[in-house]
Structure 1
Amino acid sequence: MRGTHLSRRFARPQRTYRGPRFQPLRRALRVPVWADLGIRVGAALALVFIVVLIHWWDREGLVDNLDGEVSFLDVVYFTMISITTTGFGDIAPISDRARLVEAVIVTPIRFIVIFIFVGAAYDFIIRRSWEKWRMARIQEKLSGHVVVLGFGVSGSEAVAELIERGTDPRHIVVMDTSEERLAEAEALGCNVMAADATRDDSLMAVRITEAETVLVSAGRDDASILIVLTVRHLAPEVPITVVVRAADNELLAHQAGANNVINPVRFTGLLLAGSVQGMHIADYMADLASVTGRVHLVERPVLPEEIGKPLDRLATGGRGLRVYRNGAALGFWETEAGALQAGDVVVEIRPTAEKDA
């Protein structure tokens, strides 16, 4: 895909957001609501049918105080009033065997049927109403959270790494259109929403303007860049990191408003090229990228006690690599890095053990 074609595709008029049509966060369901309800009702009816057959088989142990005859309709009627514990007394068990059947077989089935209906009422009315209310409260208080738009391979790996680094899953919101992917995100403890990330309403529903950062990995460069455009349109100050796979789309992603553009294909090429220079270079780079390695990279603001000191004398004990000052990157070998200033951003290497200390 050429960049000129992509830019024409994304050209659209500036829209003014007129307020969200509230769409609450929700948890992904493993079984559709209609299927869950159907299973419960089917199980209850099957148990009732079993009791009807038992009563019909043992109808000689029953007596009808009205006409003395127990028909199949009487059996169905007696089964229903027995299971629901109504007990009018017009039909009753009189033989020892019939009473034993009622005590040993019908009574446990009665409890099971009651539990099925009580459980259904709890799940479909009480619990889901509570869950909807709770998620709405969470949504109202969302602030400083991480929004992950797209939960494919890159998005899921990013969320797993964030959690490994100590991010609370409850502070992560995952948006995707796939129920299977949302179920995976829910299993990690994240908040999820099934929605289209290119829509203003969807992004406002996750309070995109209050997010700490936004990670975009839609699986396709055109979709990812369109999402970046939409996020930047709604949240001009929120940091955005996007994954693109075509080198000629990296510039477009930056122009769309992304602060960081990651090209996994290029990164893989860097690792491969590094392995030519030495067999341990690629291993060390992968070690740096993951929190589970022996060392890890940390980006942070300069500490007050570090102002005026050189980059190689950090208060944390880490190895200073780079300073970002007024938009410029300064290496540890450069003269300007000899005295840290207020407002600097430091990139350092720390042993992983220090992070856990």
Structure 2
Amino acid sequence: MPDDQERHEQSRHGYVVLPDRGNTIWRALAQRIALGIGIVVLTVVLVWIDRGGYVDSNDPGGGLDLIDSIYYSTVTLSTTGYGDIAPVSESARLVNAFVVTPLRVAFLVLLIGTTLEVAATQGRRLFRIARWRKHMSDHVVIVGYGTKGRSAAETLVNNGVSRETIVVVDKGGAAVSDAHADGLAVVTGDATRSGVLQRAGVEEATQVIITTDRDDSNVLSTLTVRQLNANAYIVASVREHENAPLMKQSGANSVITSSDAVGRLLGLSSLSPTLGTVMEDLLTYGEGLEVAERDLLVSEVGQQPQSLPDQVIAVVRDENVYRYFDPTVTQLARGDRLIVVRPARELPWAPRPGTHGEETDAEEA
């Protein structure tokens, strides 16, 4: 992973960081360095144990001390070989021939391999980024990867959105580590800058979720996104209700007021603990009940919303949302979509037989 200084530079330039596959280059480099140090230490120990079998031309009668052993080991492993210290006994020569020489070869292979690995890793990273940019379209951009951003990403993934089609934009720090742990690509930088958003491919995105911890940053990010992409569906969060109209004017299609939503849930839980539990159940993925949107079945055309097996709470017709009791949707029509409450075991947006233009047996008869 990049260190703090690298993250600072990356955040300034809108650096693209793809999720790691396996060990990072820094972990692999640390392992190689540790192995290299181990080879040197082992060689020093071998030479020191048999130090009487060596002669130093600069001190013929003095023998080798620990410093001489370290010196001889390093120049031997690096193939420098000044020749001032040489093995003279049979045991020392045998150890050099059958132990030190293989260690020298391993040390050189390790050194060269590390250099090639670093170069290859950088090349693979650039290639992955280039391929990622080439195939990145119709994706989702999440600006801000705090608690709300991470929950939004988790909800998308749990409902069938591929992790490879989600891009996170954040200033860096812990958010990058969290996004990588979740298998998401990250563009580090300030999302109010068009250059950073362009690196995230905002121009080709179908949806943008903006959820930083500052309303002013969210407004500026929304304006910038809308300038770059007039067709993207923008969902933005605001902390305070009075900022919601400004967010709408900035180009957000949907605005979620986090403080109001939390306050309402707290109030409901206080007035009616049971109702609060049900609301929490609806907002919790994978347990109990789910609020979902689905296509209208062919066999359901012409029926009333109240007569369907699913608990219909709203009908989407011509991009307008009608409550289930609205006279406009007394009879369901082709092209309608339903907002329903149903068991969480069913994938909310999963197609069902008879949807998306498929014919049912009843209609064919």
C-alpha contact 1:24 1:136 (8 A) present in aligned 2: no
The reply on whether 1:55 has 2:55 as its aligned counterpart is: no
Residues 181-192 of structure 1: matches in 2 within 5 Å? 181-192=175-186
Q: Which whole-Å CA distance do the structure 2 matches of 1:355 and 1:327 have between them?
A: 23
Q: Which whole-Å CA distance do the structure 2 matches of 1:265 and 1:115 have between them?
A: 59
Distance 1:326 1:165, change over 3 A: closer
Q: 73, 76, 79: which is aligned to 2:73? A: 79
Number of residue pairs the alignment of both structures matches: 333
Q: 294, 317, 322: which is aligned to 1:330? A: 322
Residue 278 of structure 1 aligns to which amino acid in structure 2? S
Deviation at 1:329, TM superposition (A): 2.5
Deviations 1:12-62 (A, max 9, x none): xxxxxxxxx996443479x99899868865874575366346535634323
Gaps of 5+ in 2: 1-12, 351-365
Residue range with higher mean Cα deviation, 210-219 or 110-119: 110-119
Q: Which whole-Å CA distance do the structure 2 matches of 1:46 and 1:124 have between them?
A: 21
Secondary structure of 1:309's aligned partner? coil
| 1:151 corresponding residue in structure 2 | 145
| 2:332 corresponding residue in structure 1 | 340
Q: Which whole-Å CA distance do the structure 1 matches of 2:325 and 2:338 have between them?
A: 14
Q: Which whole-Å CA distance do the structure 1 matches of 2:88 and 2:275 have between them?
A: 84
Please tell me the root mean square deviation across aligned C-alpha atoms, in Å. 4.0
The reply on whether 1:175 has 2:202 as its aligned counterpart is: no
The reply on whether 1:96 has 2:97 as its aligned counterpart is: no
Distance 1:263 1:22, change over 3 A: closer
Residue range with higher mean Cα deviation, 125-134 or 271-280: 271-280
Residue range with higher mean Cα deviation, 263-272 or 325-334: 325-334
| 2:347 corresponding residue in structure 1 | 355
C-alpha contact 2:16 2:186 (8 A) present in aligned 1: no
Q: Which whole-Å CA distance do the structure 2 matches of 1:339 and 1:118 have between them?
A: 74
C-alpha contact 1:62 1:95 (8 A) present in aligned 2: no
Distance 1:159 1:257, change over 3 A: same
C-alpha contact 2:296 2:338 (8 A) present in aligned 1: yes
Q: Which whole-Å CA distance do the structure 2 matches of 1:33 and 1:54 have between them?
A: 32
Residue 335 of structure 1 aligns to which amino acid in structure 2? P
Residue 278 of structure 2 aligns to which amino acid in structure 1? Y
Deviation at 1:338, TM superposition (A): 2.1
Deviation at 1:260, TM superposition (A): 1.3
Residue 194 of structure 2 aligns to which amino acid in structure 1? D
Deviation at 1:192, TM superposition (A): 1.2
| 1:296 corresponding residue in structure 2 | 290
C-alpha contact 2:218 2:237 (8 A) present in aligned 1: yes
Q: Which whole-Å CA distance do the structure 2 matches of 1:195 and 1:123 have between them?
A: 28
Q: 135, 138, 146: which is aligned to 1:141? A: 135
Distance 1:22 1:268, change over 3 A: closer
Q: Which whole-Å CA distance do the structure 2 matches of 1:216 and 1:295 have between them?
A: 27
The reply on whether 1:249 has 2:243 as its aligned counterpart is: yes
Q: Which whole-Å CA distance do the structure 1 matches of 2:141 and 2:275 have between them?
A: 32
Secondary structure of 2:346's aligned partner? helix
C-alpha contact 1:149 1:217 (8 A) present in aligned 2: yes
Q: 230, 235, 238: which is aligned to 2:232? A: 238
C-alpha contact 1:224 1:242 (8 A) present in aligned 2: yes
Distance 1:123 1:242, change over 3 A: farther
Q: Which whole-Å CA distance do the structure 2 matches of 1:196 and 1:151 have between them?
A: 13
Distance 1:92 1:230, change over 3 A: same
Calculate percent identity across the aligned residue pairs: 29
C-alpha contact 2:164 2:185 (8 A) present in aligned 1: yes
Secondary structure of 1:240's aligned partner? strand
| 1:127 corresponding residue in structure 2 | 121
| 1:285 corresponding residue in structure 2 | 279
Secondary structure of 1:353's aligned partner? coil
Q: Which whole-Å CA distance do the structure 2 matches of 1:196 and 1:108 have between them?
A: 52
Deviations 1:322-350 (A, max 9, x none): 01234533111222222223443321112
Deviation at 1:184, TM superposition (A): 0.9
Gaps of 5+ in 1: 1-20
| 2:303 corresponding residue in structure 1 | 309
Deviation at 1:232, TM superposition (A): 0.8
Q: Which whole-Å CA distance do the structure 2 matches of 1:208 and 1:340 have between them?
A: 36
Deviation at 1:114, TM superposition (A): 4.9
